[in-house]
Amino acid sequence: MDTLTHGLSSVLLARATAPESRRFADSRTLSLRTRLAAGFLAGIFPDSDFLLRLIDGPLSYLKYHRGVTHSVLMLPLWAGLLSLLFMLLWRGQYHWKAFYAVCVMSLGIHIFGDVITSFGTMILAPFSHAKFSLPSTFIIDFWFTGIIVLALIAAWVWRRQGQQLALTGLATLALYVGFQHYQAWEARDLGREYVRHQGLEQAEVHALPQPLSPFNWKIVIEQPQHYHVSYVNLHREQVVPEPDEQAGMFARINAIYRPLDNVAWQTLPRYGEGIGQKLAQDVWEQDVLKDIREFMLFPALYRIEQREQGLCAWYEDHRFILGDTRNVPFRFGACNNGDDDWRLYRHQGDRVIPLR
């Protein structure tokens, strides 16, 4: 989930759980304004791990993003440290314990908001780097964020009923996520039907939430050497006409998803085809790509090419491929300049960036 949505969801939770307005000064009871501000700051704190990208480059970011700052095991510690920090920020006006419950709830709803996306979250860090995901929601979901914003506006306009309106917003949000999980089940069932109809063996079905609509899904059927991929809209009744060259980005994305009675499947090789297939598999198993293998959930060969860095094999993840677009955010590979060592690079646009 995007950082702003995390902060707003924490504010909504803080408003919904706010005690009745206090009449007298109390260092253990936050004012409503302070409670909401602390909730927002605590809610965005886990994403401070983006600093890894600035300090140690994209590889460390891939390895450790959504790691210890997103861990349920570390949550009590982070809540305590944030509470002490907030006590200092508010110049001792409140006891640190006054902030603790707000910090716990804000960190908790942030972790939940990330677990329901397909990126993966290390909720057991630092003791385990296993990534957990119950993908129901796209990482930027305008409907999800819109529910939160509307509930916060309503709670601000009708302040006397603010707590009830915030609770209603949270309940609506929970129903929306539940509805998305039901849609995910429907999409996986469509994939399972394709597996049965085609007689595919060693096939595992995955459903990935997509942008613009909760009805948009990408179905990925994984086999040892191939992927079967389909883009479907579970509510659409007609195929959207192919947009012209002047169409905007949203229009082009919207046209990708097809109705249930007109689903199109693509069979895509994992490591390419022909004489380059064995090379692609061999390079993928090189030690230099160990971290990339751990990060990519549905790895596939992008291409093999000759560059000034040597012979290069590039890989991308089907989680981040959207239709025919080639603007894939995470594309990595290895190059060999004639010696025995493969070196790690990132492929970004037309640039090739060396990594440690």
With 60 as the cut, is the pLDDT of residue 272 above it? yes
Helix (H) or strand (E) holding 183: helix 162-198
Q: Binning pLDDT at 50, 70 and 90, where does residue 44 land?
A: very high
Q: What is the pTM of this model?
A: 0.91
Range scoring the smallest mean pLDDT among 26-30, 271-275, 276-280: 26-30
Do the beta carbons of residue 93 and residue 27 sit within 8 Å? yes
Do the beta carbons of residue 315 and residue 333 sit within 8 Å? yes
Query: pLDDT tens, 332-352?
Result: 999 998 777 899 999 988 888
pLDDT of 312 reads: 94
Do the beta carbons of residue 222 and residue 200 sit within 8 Å? no
With 70 as the cut, is the pLDDT of residue 110 above it? yes
With 70 as the cut, is the pLDDT of residue 24 above it? no
pLDDT of 48 reads: 93
Question: Cis before residue 209, ω within 30 degrees of 0?
Answer: no
With 70 as the cut, is the pLDDT of residue 255 above it? yes
pLDDT of 62 reads: 82
How far apart CA 201 and CA 225 sit, in angstroms, is 11
pLDDT of 131 reads: 93
